[in-house]
Chain A
């Protein structure tokens, strides 16, 4: 029901919003003193509340990084959990300032939905998970003809699933829920044979099942799922801040700046590090973005660099233990590449 409420509220908001050009998001955010960040309703490694009710994960940390860049304080974030269906309306209607919710970047979302994607914080692909104990002998997604497949509605996953089975001339029975917890519960109860979503998501979900060891993720990756944060279209300044926060995280990792050594690094004489950390004499890269010159220092102090964020939330420092893979820096054979700050 909630998505209807948001839909109606969104529609109503569009109706009553003053038609005069509104103030930029940066000004609004500074005025209210925090960033409203749209996250998932609970996906381990990306955005999920821990036992103290604090939001953890790459997506949650990205919002903290933006807050650190704007306020110099990574805690000035409020989180709004959103279902797949609610997320775009929430951003469009101004309920949230940034959508950082394992959302796939597609041309349609970028152009027709009034969104502006700022980068790819996680390169993902869609996979399948099955209960190997109940279905011994199934070791490929191509053996899934006739299976009941659990999927979350309103996602690119739902569309890829239809395409994949059609392309391979296989039949399936979609079991579609709106909320992630409902899909998880249905799969765990045995309502479906397979679960499909982004592979990183599958590893996260597996941990929450009643007996994680029984479930295997099948090897096939059936789609490209570049996940990243998005902001409202038409506010270039705010989009630049979000985009360069992401690039700053990458540049910091590349330059070896970490949460632990950032204060030492401020005395570095390396011109590249000086530019990144705003210690270069007469440098005003932060001010050009509408931020303070030590914006990157604040980001790194709040969440660390991209690599630290990755390892802490989904990598070796987390129960998910996902390898960097294509999410490694370009210098290490991955796809993460941050344009220079200069």
Chain B
């Protein structure tokens, strides 16, 4: 605003060609026109060339029968479903592996990152070695390492490794009993929700009391007791309506129970262990970025080392950590497209199959790009909200 006022006070420069406002307006308009006309030219050319080459175009194919099967289907899907549904299945698989990967990578990354700052020499060195190894290997190799190096050398289905609680491990994946909830199990769910609500209430009350009187209340242990105790009580009251579906040996493989396939497992492990190395460095940088005076001042106030970390250092470190952390989450989501190398049916793999079965490459690639763009924008959006809540509130 200020510059505009100054400009207005200046005497006329003689010619409007020299007027910076008109100039900037002119060049901005020119850029916009050029941009849109080149987009129009490309779109027009694509359509014309597709017609000239006798290639079908348009998105009508999404409603046709897909005809192929997918190994991991989070929603009901058969070969009779549409191409659209196949793409949705692919997208859901991408989301599942990305969300699970983000959670695992965050846990491992924070642990390793804090470990690198440990007083213990051995822990510190182990964490350093971990970071240096995983950070410097391409993610595709890490995926192959898990898939071909670890999971493929497990014994065949007939010689499965027996694990505790009726679980099995073989080269076809990891099998564990699936909980089958009987009648009256809704009571347990209700009890769990109730317990969470009560724990939140207790925490709220305890905070108020501490503010008013300075007295503390063991919120953590009360919450644990509530969240475990209430559902357990409901479980007993409703007559223990829980049975397990155990995996059993059949002709080719184990059937029944819950089955995690090696493709998913290796992709998840590879993505999270790879990204965790970066997250560890971000966390270390964040903690290092909090000036030493902060923890010294907290110690001078009489806080013990646990609360210092929890109440003083971490909240300040998070402000440094979250923006680069967001980038890592986006990277992990996009790296999940490497799933194609080991046959996990993520969006890239499924859309690739659809693309090939229909031959509509332009539409297929377009759908993939839009889907990844939306996924990334949603992740950024959520992380921006978190960041805004963590940001320094200046008083």
Q: Interface residues, chain A, CB within 8 Å of chain B?
A: 1, 3-4, 7-8, 10-11, 14-17, 19, 21, 84-85, 88-89, 92, 108-109, 111-114, 134-135, 143-148, 153-154, 158-159, 161-163, 165-166, 172-178, 182, 185-186, 189-191, 193, 232-234
Contacts and interface: CB of A to CB of B under 8 A. Distances in A.
B251 interface: yes
B46 A15 contact: yes
A49 to B, nearest CB: 22
Given A7-B364, A114-B54, A191-B262, A88 B356 contact: yes
B50 interface: yes
18 contacts: A7-B365, A14-B53, A14-B362, A17-B45, A17-B49, A92-B55, A109-B359, A114-B54, A135-B252, A143-B251, A146-B255, A158-B357, A166-B80, A173-B253, A189-B171, A190-B156, A191-B262, A193-B253
Contact of B54 (A154, A175, A189, A233): A233
Please indicate which of the listed interface residues B43, B49, B71, B349 has the most CB atoms of chain A within 10 Å of its own CB. B49
Contacts of A191: 152, 171-172, 262
Given A4-B365, A112-B56, 15 more contacts: A14-B45, A15-B46, A16-B45, A85-B352, A88-B359, A92-B55, A114-B53, A114-B54, A146-B251, A148-B252, A176-B70, A177-B342, A178-B343, A189-B171, A191-B171
Interface in B237-267: 250-253, 255, 262-263
Please indicate which of the listed interface residues A172, A176, A193 has the most CB atoms of chain B within 10 Å of its own CB. A176
A154 B356 contact: yes
B46 A186 contact: no
A14 B365 CA distance: 13
A11 B345 CA distance: 23
Interface in B179-238: none
B67 interface: yes
Nearest to A146: B252
B296 interface: no
A153 B250 contact: no
B55 A174 contact: no
A174 B349 CA distance: 13
Contact of A234 (B52, B252, B337): B52
B67 A159 contact: yes
A146 B252 CA distance: 7
B359 A113 contact: yes
Contacts of B171: 189-191
A166 B368 CA distance: 29
Contacts of B326: none
Interface in B27-61: 42-43, 45-46, 48-50, 52-56
B251 A14 contact: no
A177 B343 contact: yes
B348 A113 contact: no
B49 A113 contact: no
B340 interface: yes
A79 to B, nearest CB: 21
A113 B42 CA distance: 21
Contacts of B67: 159, 162-163
Contact of B45 (A15, A144, A158, A189): A15
Contacts of A1: 337-338, 340
Contacts of A113: 55-56, 359
B40 to A, nearest CB: 11
Nearest to A2: B340
B156 to A, nearest CB: 5
Interface string B334-351: 000110111101001100
Given A163-B67, A174-B70, A175-B71, A134 B255 contact: no
Interface in B103-160: 148, 152, 156, 158
Contact of A7 (B71, B158, B355, B358): B355
B298 interface: no
Interface string B310-325: 0000000000000000
Given A10-B361, A89-B361, A159-B68, A234 B54 contact: yes
Contact of B69 (A4, A147, A161): A161
Contacts of B355: 7, 85, 154
Nearest to B71: A174
B79 interface: yes
Contacts of B379: none
Please indicate which of the listed interface residues B53, B152, B156, B345 has the most CB atoms of chain A within 10 Å of its own CB. B53
Nearest to B140: A1
Contacts of B327: none
Contacts of B361: 7, 10-11, 88-89, 92
A35 B364 CA distance: 29
A114 to B, nearest CB: 4
Please indicate which of the listed interface residues B50, B263, B356 has the most CB atoms of chain A within 10 Å of its own CB. B356
A149 B368 CA distance: 27
Given A7-B365, A19-B45, A114-B53, A85 B343 contact: no
Nearest to B366: A11
